[in-house]
Structure 1
Amino acid sequence: MKKRTKIILVILIIVYGAASLALHSFRNQMNNEVIHYLVDTRDYKNADLYKIYTQIGKAPVVSTTVIFADEPNARYFYRKEKKRIYQYSMASVKGTDPNYTFKHIEESLL
């Protein structure tokens, strides 16, 4: 392998590693901010939160999903906009049930 090719390959590996680390760090930060919002603002306890994960996709670009321990069949979606975290939607984990009553819906969605 030529020296120039090796240098380019090393640079690409470094850039990929840095981007992966930055993305992982950003997801952790968003997860922590949503946890902080739920615990400090909405008066939940850490034990009330079953699973939290942040995804980066299309619209909305960044979305954090929360599944509560007492309601494992529902997902609640949060996002951050202008330093404000809010719940913007919810859905069943499997399929849709029009008669399902969500326990943790926030007032802004009612």
Structure 2
Amino acid sequence: MLIILGAGFYSLHSYKDKMNRQIVHYLTTEQGYTEKQLYKVYTQIGKAPVVSTTVIFADEPDARYFYRKEAGQIYQYSNAPAGPPDGSKTHYLHLEEDGG
């Protein structure tokens, strides 16, 4: 039983790591960012969307941008304040034209 749980945990961790790398690759090769501009990138598995990767940019630590991959395409689908929403965050620096 422990082997099955360990294998499942390892698979999940590997999948999240793979998604993080794919999003970083997308942002650096297709969107022109450098890795230094990316403060934090992490993938979560939840309800809807099932898999979501959050990006926080170094020059905008008070905002989160959400990315996902569908049908082989990566895109930004939303954004939000990094902390509790208080209505003060109204301008986002890294919105993509087709997302957010």
Give the TM-score taking structure 2 as reference length: 0.95
| Whole-Å separation in 2 of the counterparts to 1:19 and 1:109 | 32
Identity within the alignment, %: 53
Aligned to 1:48: 37
- Compute the displacement of 1:98 (Å): 5.8
Aligned to 2:83: 94
1:103 aligns with 2:79: no
CA contact (8 A) 2:81 2:89 kept: no
Q: Write out the 4+ residue segments of structure 1 that deviate beyond 6 Å after TM superposition.
A: none
Higher relative contact order (CA 8 A, sep 6+): 2
Structure with max Cα Rg: 1
After the TM superposition, which residues 1-110 of structure 1 pair with which residues of structure 2 at under 5 Å, given as runs? 12-96=1-85, 97=87, 100-109=90-99
CA RMSD between the two structures? 1.2
Indicate the structure with greater helix content: 1
SS in 2 for 1:85: strand
SS in 1 for 2:79: strand
